Amino acid sequence: MSNEDSYLVDANLGLYLVADGMGGHAGGAHASAMCADVVNRVVRRGMARVAGLPPEEASVVIHEVLGASASEASARIFDQAQADRSLQGMGTTLTGILFYGNRGYIVHVGDSRAYLMRGGTARQLTSDHSWLAEQIEAGLLTEEEAKLSDLKHIITRSVGFERLVEADIVTVSVSLGDVFLLCSDGMANYITLDEIARLARDHHYSELPQICTDIALSRGGDDNITVVVVLACNDYDSRKPMRKLSKTVADTLPSIG
């Protein structure tokens, strides 16, 4: 199995993301890597507009910048796929978080996920753009029925499959000690919210990527698994890079940075 996931850890910018590519190995891997690169560059450029703004004005600009980053990534991926027949049909999920002040700003397209662990509990911060999630929301499937479905990988919104995409932008307050976990569906499909909360209570945050990956693989995970964990602490300059782990069943990419 080849790895079609990409991730970004830019501690200086405060931007972290996971992207899960689709459209065959060549297309999927290219789309996810391209998405991470474009989002990083657009956000870095856009944040220059934020310096010195009052908090609420800054929040509005950040929403615009994150939405624009997903839109530009989608347009560039789509246009490249149209120009190269070998890449046609490629696309990617995108789930990222940008920290600014005491807030986290999440940009989300697809079925990768963002979780927040706080005070011994966990909650999912994103809503899946997937066929199963829509069936559950419409009352046509139960959560238990969805877990048994073979249609987990059908998503209804992605970056690059169409030229235009609308990203969900979610704002969350950040408190000291908060732990944010971003992951591709290779992890999310195998570990429940209650289990994530328990793992965060029982283990140091730096151990979570390895533990979550091992659990997903032990339960039959056959998809790419990418996990990025970020701890909110009170001294930005002394923070060490967060532990990153990206794995597939047949291929392991060691932590870098």
Counting as low any pLDDT under 70, the low residues of the chain are 1-2, 25, 145, 148, 150, 152, 234-257
Phi first, then psi, for residue 26 (nearest 5°) are -60, -45
DSSP 88: T
Using only C-alpha atoms, what is the Rg of the chain?
17
pTM above 0.85, yes or no: yes
- What DSSP assignment string belongs to 195-234? HHHHHHHHS-GGGHHHHHHHHHHHTT--S-EEEEEEE--S
Which amino acid, one-letter code, is at 14? G
> If you count them, how many residues does the chain have?
257
91-95-98 Cα angle (round to 5): 135
113 near 95, Cβ under 8 Å? yes
Q: Residue 227 pairs with which residues in a beta bridge?
A: 183, 245
Give the C-alpha separation, 127 to 134, whole Å. 10
Phi first, then psi, for residue 28 (nearest 5°) are -65, -45
The answer for residues whose C-beta is within 8 angstroms of residue 188's C-beta and 6 or more apart is: 111, 112, 113
pLDDT at 15: 98
If DSSP codes are grouped into helix, strand and coil, which group holds residue 124? strand
Side-chain half-sphere exposure of 110, counting CA atoms within 13 A? 29
DSSP 205: G
Tracing tokens 């990534």 back to the chain, one arrives at 73
Give the C-alpha separation, 165 to 176, whole Å. 33
Q: Name which CATH class applies to 5-253.
A: alpha beta
